[in-house]
Amino acid sequence: MSGLRYALWGVLPYAVLVLFAAGTVWRFRHDRFGVTTRSSQLHESRLLSVGGPLFHYGLLFVIAGHVIGLVVPERVTEDLRVPESLYRANALLVGGVAGAATVAGLAVLVARRLRVRAVRRASDRTDRALYPILATVLLAGLAATLLAPAGDYDYRLGVSVWFRSVFLLHPNVGAISGAPLLYQAHALLGLALFALWPFSRLVHAFAAPVAYPFRAYVVYRSRNVRRRPFA
């Protein structure tokens, strides 16, 4: 096995995981109040209200698809008697629609960032690195999904095996280095995105107000209300 393949698929994922974890801790400790989207809604809200939901709701389905496709071994769906043809049709339909929605949402957000002067001026160096990587990750993933029916590659027997092996601390380099280049490029760009994550606006994912619907009510009382005498 060549040194390059081992470096890319056996060493790089761990370097990225360490950078991701350490970078996130560093960001929370040194830039506690910078862990935000750096929202530009005050500059422009119409395009944001279209691109934002399209991108984020699409991404939720993309993430769900990755959990199923990468984490659940193929033999589990076989044991559950899910026909391979049904699995693939579902991946193509749901993955295709979710991926296309995410790409369309990102296109609106990028166009807004480039064309609306105030939003462009509110962008920084990390945005200039982030958006091209994000766009190419999405496009490569979507292309892999849409082109899948034209080939006979089963990513669940290759890319997914490598993905799980990384977390089992025994990276199966051969499982991914034999994958079509499009899949390898997609996974590498994904790793680049995770490396940049803590240092970019993506860190706001950790500040999502998930506890909001479950928190206790905040009770507001007017200062001017005269106290009623006790009965």
**Binding footprint of ligand HEM on the chain (CB under 6 A):** 62, 65-66, 69-70, 91, 95, 98-99, 102, 137-138, 141-142, 144-145, 148, 155, 159, 163, 183, 186-187, 190-191, 193
Could you tell me if 150 and 123 are in contact, meaning their C-beta atoms sit under 8 angstroms apart? no
Rounded to a whole number of angstroms, the minimum distance from the CB of residue 186 to ligand HEM is: 5
Rounded to a whole number of angstroms, the minimum distance from the CB of residue 99 to ligand HEM is: 3
Q: Which is nearer to ligand HEM, 66 or 204 (CB)?
A: 66
Could you tell me if 212 and 186 are in contact, meaning their C-beta atoms sit under 8 angstroms apart? no
Q: Which is nearer to ligand HEM, 91 or 119 (CB)?
A: 91
Distance CA(109)–CA(190), nearest Å, equals 20
Rounded to a whole number of angstroms, the minimum distance from the CB of residue 154 to ligand HEM is: 9
Residue nearest to ligand HEM (CB): 141
CA nearest to 137, candidates 170, 102, 113: 102
Query: How many beta carbons lie within 10 A of that of residue 197, not counting itself?
Result: 20
Q: Which is nearer to ligand HEM, 32 or 128 (CB)?
A: 128
Q: Which is nearer to ligand HEM, 48 or 134 (CB)?
A: 134
| Three-class DSSP category at 207 | helix
Q: Which is nearer to ligand HEM, 45 or 167 (CB)?
A: 167
Rounded to a whole number of angstroms, the minimum distance from the CB of residue 65 to ligand HEM is: 4
Q: Which is nearer to ligand HEM, 31 or 154 (CB)?
A: 154
Q: Is the dihedral of CA 83, 155, 69, 138 positive or negative?
A: negative
Could you tell me if 83 and 29 are in contact, meaning their C-beta atoms sit under 8 angstroms apart? no
CA nearest to 209, candidates 62, 36, 38, 21: 36
Rounded to a whole number of angstroms, the minimum distance from the CB of residue 219 to ligand HEM is: 40
Please give the distance of CA 135 from its chain centroid, rounded to a whole number. Answer: 11
Rounded to a whole number of angstroms, the minimum distance from the CB of residue 172 to ligand HEM is: 13
